[in-house]
Structure 1
């Protein structure tokens, strides 16, 4: 849960080697909980806001709940595919923490 969301389960900063692999079977359950939060937020916002505004807030909430993990992954992937000439260059670009033009455009089109 701690890897996929903003919620802290344990105060231990760095997981031990193998902890992430052991947590893989729980990823669908965490996704279900995130979806459940979004459904409840949608139901609450539908009472007070127009659909356009509530939908924008739901997208923002999904990004906040997941610490933009998937948005960052999309940006890294697009930067790597568009910027690297060979496999090693693509992987190096994907590991770089900065966002390039392709990544920024991907985020804009995603939102």
Structure 2
């Protein structure tokens, strides 16, 4: 029975996920010295939370196309939005919840 290339790709996506398949494809293209397909970047967040995915993807897209001045501006904005004390508190809470989960 003939299975079309599209159907094979659909099966691979269903089995491994879109992001993994795109990364594998891009790696093979690079190994062969071929241009990576244009369009959607290979890196896409897949946290399961659409809002978080959008924020991570936006940050990644900004960073990946930025010059040094823009990257400096992004760093400043990120530090202003998430000061060290806020990040530290979040990390502390995360460690506590992980400790409770492993103890329970």
TM-score (normalizing by structure 1): 0.27
Higher relative CO (CA 8 A, sep ≥ 6), structure 1 or 2? 1
TM-score (normalizing by structure 2): 0.28
